[in-house]
A and B are shown apart, each in its own frame.
Chain A
Amino acid sequence: MSVATKPAPPAGSSSLARNQLPRRTTQLVLVLSFAAGAGLSALFGGFSVVSFAVLSVLVFLVVNTALSAVVEGRRKATDKLVTALVYTAFGIALVPLISVIWSVLDNGLPRFSVDFLTTSMRNVTGLNDQQALEGAAPFIGGAYHAILGTFLITGLATIISVPIGLLTSVYLVEYGRGRLARSITFFVDVMTGIPSIVAGLFAAALFAVLFGVGTRNGFAGAVALSVLMIPVVVRSSEEMLRIVPNELREAAYALGVPKWRTIVRVVIPTAISGIASGVTLAIARVVGETAPLIVTAGFTSSINSNPFSDWMMSLPAYVYSQAMRPLSGSSPQPSFDRAWAAALTLILIVMLLNLVARLIARLFAPKTGR
């Protein structure tokens, strides 16, 4: 009886579908918001991309939430608001990424050439830049000395860091027990947090004590970079060694293989792809370090292929000096162009290293049984 007296839901909509906006509402509001944003932006002092984006997002947030609050209730409205905010956050994060990459490509490509990569800054003066701007002389000056320096310094840092880092991770995973291992783990963590400039100061202070105040050379830069690189190598290799299955070690021991041969022939080869890609990523991280190099390796405009004596230019330091101290104060543009071209070179190197790391991880991954 009582069932019959209950008011029937209005025809065409079940009780579940009540208080719900039609399916395409959000998309519709979004499109309308863009239109409104464009209109408002044009209304307030001329159309610009920034005001268009900001206004559209604001309109969308307000309209979408209000609509949902009226029809669907407060909880759904909050949910929609947060969803929109989360999407907006991701959109905002893309702005710097795209703009960095765009401005590096846009400003760097014009001066990025074989010439740029194969010549140094020796005997390039502000006068050249001025004449080049006036069209009286060609643009000259490149980053060969900086690229060479970056490769030498980073290479040396790798040679120092990888054995220490790899052996330490082997110690932590295979041997380390007790207080020593715990303190190493702890201090590797501490080392990860050393600001890069402090690492540079350390190398500068070390070389000042050993070889006299004001000693600057590529090797000091490599030492500074090693301080930053070692903890990264330890962390990544440790992680890789730890996921080597214990069964492999036990099988080797069961065959009577000594522990050190087990590690060298079984454990490390199994983890080698991860270790190699971790090392590559560590190189990619330190190759762009600027601060430690400008206090240890210094600046120069000439090619120096001996990292153990004299100042040595590196790509980041080159970018820094060209951007902050243009050769010609009155016509800085050629120097800025060189800075951007060098930044492009640097990013290409870093991206290449990242790509290589990924390839290594994929190509040399251990073959699993199945």
Chain B
Amino acid sequence: MTTTAKPPPAERPATTPRAKARPGDRIFSRSAQVAGILILVILAGVAAFLVREALPTFTADSSEIDGGEGFFSYVWPLVFGTLAAAVIALIVATPLALGIALFISHYAPRRLAQGLGYIVDLLAAIPSVVFGLWGIQWLAPQVQPAWSWLADNLGFIPIFTGPASATGRTMMTAGLVLAVMILPIITAIAREVFLQTPTLHEEAALALGATRWEMIRMAVIPFGRPGIISGIMLGLGRALGETMAVAMVLSTGGFTWSMVTAGNNTIAAEIALDFPESSGLKTNTLIAAGLVLFAITLAVNMFARWIVSRRSEFSGAN
């Protein structure tokens, strides 16, 4: 044993001489590494500068904060608004996005499918400010009657308490615009995983006499579930951080449960609306609010990645 194990180390230098370290190699690999480290530095910088600029908010007297009752009571209505808009967007966008993804992957004629995919991707290419403009000038007047109807007929539910805003610039409208914006994200990811479903599973289901829907329910959906969830989470992350649609569409105001009246605001929109004219402690407060938003989206995105990575461990793709 020991005698057979010995030769290789002795032999190795002879057969594979160690390559001479060339200066070009060293410079190039070093600069690539520096670029990578720079990204870490930038991210650390993002966190450090935000925390630094946010700190005065937490040390200041609570009466000096906007609203006069400290940072927490300033930020929680904004957090509520942020979550409410994102949840409305998700409720609208998720079923639609899954339907579209299924349509492109399993229902549309093969020849059309790719082109239809491009069409949905087009939605992702439209800048958010254009969605904001569209939301305020086209969508808000169109959907206003619907909100009035909700307030009149379902007003006993807290989120539909009237009177509905006459302009239609409400949380519901903002949520709808957000839904349109996250639609392509969820669709793209769901479509990818649906297309990856093993053909054998699908054919086996069909061969056993399943209808197309039964095949999808038994083969496609279970296979794609982690992908669907992570797509939804990424859409949620986008909806939480999206600024312009809310800043332009929503007629902002104080906290209210009702989603069909003017009022509420999101963190991102509050920053966009107030930051350009802010000064002193207000600037710090807004940056602290930005930090809260950063933390929320970070948590959501990490959760999404975690689901994806958990899946990749046993997927056949790698």
Interface residue? A232 (CB, 8 A) = no
User: In the docked arrangement, what's the CA distance between A192 and B43, Å?
Assistant: 11
Which residue of B37, B46, B96 contacts A89 across the interface (Cβ within 8 Å)? B96
- Decide: B290 and A260 in contact? CB cutoff 8 A: no
**Which of B62-70, B115-123, B157-165 forms contacts with chain A?**
B115-123
Which residue of A79, A175, A336, A343 contacts B214 across the interface (Cβ within 8 Å)? A79
Nearest B residue to A171 via CB reads B32
Nearest A residue to B294 via CB reads A198
- Nearest CB in chain A: distance from B124 CB, A: 9
Size of B's binding interface in residues, CB under 8 A:
89
Question: Which A residues are in CB contact (< 8 Å) with B187?
Answer: 93
Q: Give the most central of A197, A214, A234: most B CB within 10 Å.
A: A197
Q: Flag B189-203 by CB within 8 Å of A: 1 or 0 each.
A: 000000000000000
User: In the docked arrangement, what's the CA distance between A298 and B139, Å?
Assistant: 28
- Decide: B119 and A198 in contact? CB cutoff 8 A: no
**Which of B5-13, B73-81, B236-244, B256-264 forms contacts with chain A?**
B236-244
Which residue of A100, A175, A205 contacts B287 across the interface (Cβ within 8 Å)? A205
* CB contact list, A155-208 vs B, under 8 A: 163-168, 170-172, 174-176, 180-181, 183-184, 187-199, 201-202, 204-206, 208
Interface residue? A351 (CB, 8 A) = yes
Which residue of A171, A191, A208 contacts B43 across the interface (Cβ within 8 Å)? A191
- Summarize A's interface: helix, strand, loop or mixed: helix
Interface residue? A75 (CB, 8 A) = yes
Which residue of B37, B130, B180, B275 contacts A204 across the interface (Cβ within 8 Å)? B275
Nearest A residue to B124 via CB reads A285
Q: Give the most central of B29, B36, B49, B120: most A CB within 10 Å.
A: B36
Interface residue? A347 (CB, 8 A) = yes
- Decide: B33 and A171 in contact? CB cutoff 8 A: yes
Interface residue? B225 (CB, 8 A) = no
- Nearest CB in chain A: distance from B100 CB, A: 5
**Which of A10-18, A116-124, A288-296, A302-310 forms contacts with chain B?**
A288-296
* CB contact list, B102-140 vs A, under 8 A: 102-104, 107-108, 116, 119-120, 122-123, 125-134, 136-139
- Decide: A79 and B213 in contact? CB cutoff 8 A: yes
Interface residue? A35 (CB, 8 A) = no
Question: Which A residues are in CB contact (< 8 Å) with B211?
Answer: 75-76, 78-79
Interface residue? B35 (CB, 8 A) = yes
A-B contact pairs, 19 of them (CB 8 A): A78-B213, A88-B99, A89-B96, A90-B104, A90-B108, A93-B183, A96-B180, A97-B119, A171-B32, A175-B33, A191-B42, A193-B234, A195-B241, A195-B268, A208-B283, A263-B28, A287-B127, A290-B128, A323-B132
Given contacts A83-B213, A90-B104, A189-B305, 7 further A-B contacts (CB under 8 A): A166-B35, A189-B301, A197-B241, A202-B46, A291-B247, A295-B276, A347-B130
Contact surface of A with B, Cβ cutoff 8 Å: 50, 75-76, 78-79, 82-83, 85-90, 92-94, 96-97, 99-100, 103-104, 107, 163-168, 170-172, 174-176, 180-181, 183-184, 187-199, 201-202, 204-206, 208-209, 213-214, 227, 230-231, 234, 258-261, 263-264, 284, 287-291, 294-295, 298-299, 316, 319-320, 323-324, 336, 339-340, 343, 346-347, 350-351, 354
Which 5 pairs across A and B sit closest by C-beta, in order of nearness?
A288-B127, A195-B241, A89-B99, A167-B35, A193-B301
